[in-house]
Chain A
Amino acid sequence: MSIVIHNVSKQFGQFQALQPTNLTISSGKLVALLGPSGSGKSTLLRVISGLETPDTGSIIIDDQDHTHLDVRQRNIGFVFQHYALFKHLTIRQNIAFGLEIQRHPREAIRKRVNDLLDLIQLAGLGDRYPAQLSGGQRQRVALARALAVEPRVLLLDEPFGALDAKVRKELRSWLRRLHDEVHVTSVFVTHDQEEAMEVADEIVIMNQGKIEQVGTAVEVYDRPATPFVMGFIGTVNVIPKTSPIAKQFSSIEHTQDIFVRPQDVEIFSNPEPKTISATVERIIPMGSEIQIELRLSDNTILISYVSHFKFTQLQLKTAQNVFICVHKSQVFTEEAGGGHQTLNLATSGSHF
């Protein structure tokens, strides 16, 4: 069941929550709407669900115009950040609610609820009340309740946002496996890039009510379309265009900031061809890697990630003088149309 969003916009009072937006979500995909708070991702999700009416544009689900259909008639499943379970009903009654509204036969409801309880691995807890479950269990119940009516589209608004880090990790890999079984077209909202990259087939990155880029995890990381995406996905060094170091990128006249990923900054203990000198400012162990903060001669700070092996080899210490080579960097030049162009400036330190 594909979703086509055509020229949809939404304003709340003076606040333009969503600029005119176009997006196509293909059938059976699990798509993440990723962005900081206030980027319009939740608004877009609520417009798809019918909980909000767009000011302009249309929503087409499965080739049918749904723009003016009420949320009740859209046959979507919606999962809320804070579960929104019916507190006075047992888990079983919660899951059965949608089926009872649709007047399914009693026996069929019982069977479907049992199947769903198995699916969410809470088979023994059907007669408990939501308050007796943990956060992770409650969100699984909310998912089962949404899936019970066999929705054409499953929408999840920050589904793991209220859970602690460990449960969140477990639940998101569970959601991924669940989607591989159920195959319902799903859209989930998140502000956590790691979550989006792990779970989603496709990531839609939003900022200030606009879509910045649509792509797979690899695409948005390796080929970010805008400076915002580059900065939002993963860590990035920004060398301001005014910095004297920026002038050393000699081949092109620089009118834009230069973006460098930390793993593209290599550290040497001795001068090599095309390296520049730097001072080790701070050493921060990050677990699997070590983050090195380097101060360049013009006081620009660059971050580099090195492996433990490399770290031992270089015998890095704070205030030590080292030499660095930037293997890859990017600038975004604004075109006449307002779009961005990506330029790979350097490979293997050709500019130093």
Chain B
Amino acid sequence: MMVRFPGLRFTSLSWPWVVTIGYLLVLLCLPILALLSQTFTLSPDEFWAIATAPIALAAYQVTFVTALGAALLNGIMGTIIAWVLVRYEFPGRKLVDAAIDLPFALPTAVAGLLLATLYSENGWIGQLFTPFGIKIAFTRLGVWVAMVFISLPFIVRTVQPVLQELEPEVEEAAWSLGASPGQTFWRIIFPPLFPSILTGMALGFSRAVGEYGSVVIVSSGIPFRDLIAPVLIFQRLEQYDYSGASVIGIVLLVIALLLLLTINRLQQWGQHYAD
């Protein structure tokens, strides 16, 4: 029996359908299959042993904890920046607005180079911390700085449109009902903003988890210290350990899919009062 959806025809394969399916097959499904096929030679026990080897576990830990830290900081900073961009009129606002996307546009290697220069022991920012015995570049802290840098636009760009939709009259209505600025923020402004902040953080987090180019420059790549999972994959490849690289890759892939699912759910939840 044919299942019919109003407005959709599955019976005749029109060319947009063919293009869509073909493109997605080549671009998304095929690489995943290839990745899986690399591990076919391994038994489940071997797979599990590689996936949970101490060096791999440490790399996941560095990756996810640091990415989470970056997402948390940007959850706050990105929201404040979005607020300033939407609500304040100041000279150069358009310029600042455009500059937010710099981490998108900048080749990640360039970002890594910039950060390594700035945050090394003699760098402009790094030297401020040296007297306190804090090293930033080539430590876990450096990885975190790189992840903060590349994930910022995600939060700003997700929160910005929601803030733009929030009419100033809504705040005035809250004031006229006697609410203090604090009450107005926490009860009126923040709740509709929260899903978009979370979505932005999740997007920034997944971007940070996948970051390779800048981190490989700004970190030392030493296992158990500041080695992140994507760099571990590269190190495995350098040692011609393809199946080892693929196992780590599959773990990251599964986590990325779970993250996508979460982001999707978050976005739906953000719309729960829309109609």
Contacts and interface: CB of A to CB of B under 8 A. Distances in A.
A84 B192 contact: no
A130 B273 CA distance: 8
B30 interface: no
Interface in A132-168: 132, 142, 145-146, 148-149
A97 B174 contact: yes
A71 B188 contact: no
Contacts of B192: 87-88
Contacts of B273: 87-88, 129-131
Interface residues of A, number: 29
Contacts of A131: 273-275
Interface in A102-137: 102, 129-132
Contact of B275 (A97, A102, A132, A146): A132
B113 to A, nearest CB: 44
A97 B274 CA distance: 20
Interface string B178-202: 1110010001100110000000000
A98 interface: yes
Nearest to A79: B173
A49 B175 CA distance: 11
Interface stretch (B62-70, B122-130, B164-172, B238-246): B164-172
B176 A76 contact: yes
B177 interface: yes
A84 B169 contact: yes
A78 interface: yes
A44 to B, nearest CB: 16
A132 B178 CA distance: 26
Nearest to B271: A131
A97 B180 CA distance: 12
Contact of B188 (A82, A86, A132, A142): A86
Which one of A70, A87, A102 has the highest number of Cβ atoms from chain B below 10 Å of its Cβ? A87
Contacts of A86: 170, 173-174, 188
Contacts of B175: 51, 70-72
Interface residues of B, number: 20
Contacts of A182: none
Nearest to A130: B273
Contact of A145 (B172, B177, B179, B187): B177
B180 A84 contact: no
Contacts of A148: 177
A49 to B, nearest CB: 7
B275 A72 contact: no
B167 A149 contact: no
B191 A149 contact: no
A98 B177 contact: yes
A101 interface: yes
Contacts of A97: 174, 177, 179, 187
A227 interface: no
A97 B169 CA distance: 15
Contact of A49 (B167, B174, B176, B191): B176
Contact of A149 (B178, B187, B274, B275): B178
Contact of A102 (B169, B172, B178, B274): B178
B159 to A, nearest CB: 15
Nearest to A142: B173
B176 A51 contact: yes
Contacts of A70: 175
B177 A80 contact: no
Given A82-B167, A131-B274, A51 B172 contact: yes
A101 B176 contact: no
B176 A78 contact: yes
A131 B274 CA distance: 6
A54 interface: no
A77 B176 contact: yes
B172 A80 contact: yes
A143 to B, nearest CB: 12
Interface string A73-102: 001111010101111100000000110011
Nearest to B179: A101
Given A88-B273, A129-B273, A131-B274, A101 B178 contact: yes
A71 B176 CA distance: 6
11 contacts: A72-B178, A78-B172, A82-B169, A86-B170, A86-B174, A87-B170, A97-B187, A98-B177, A101-B177, A101-B179, A149-B177
Closest A-B pairs by Cβ, 8 of them: A98-B177, A84-B169, A78-B176, A129-B273, A84-B173, A80-B169, A88-B192, A101-B178
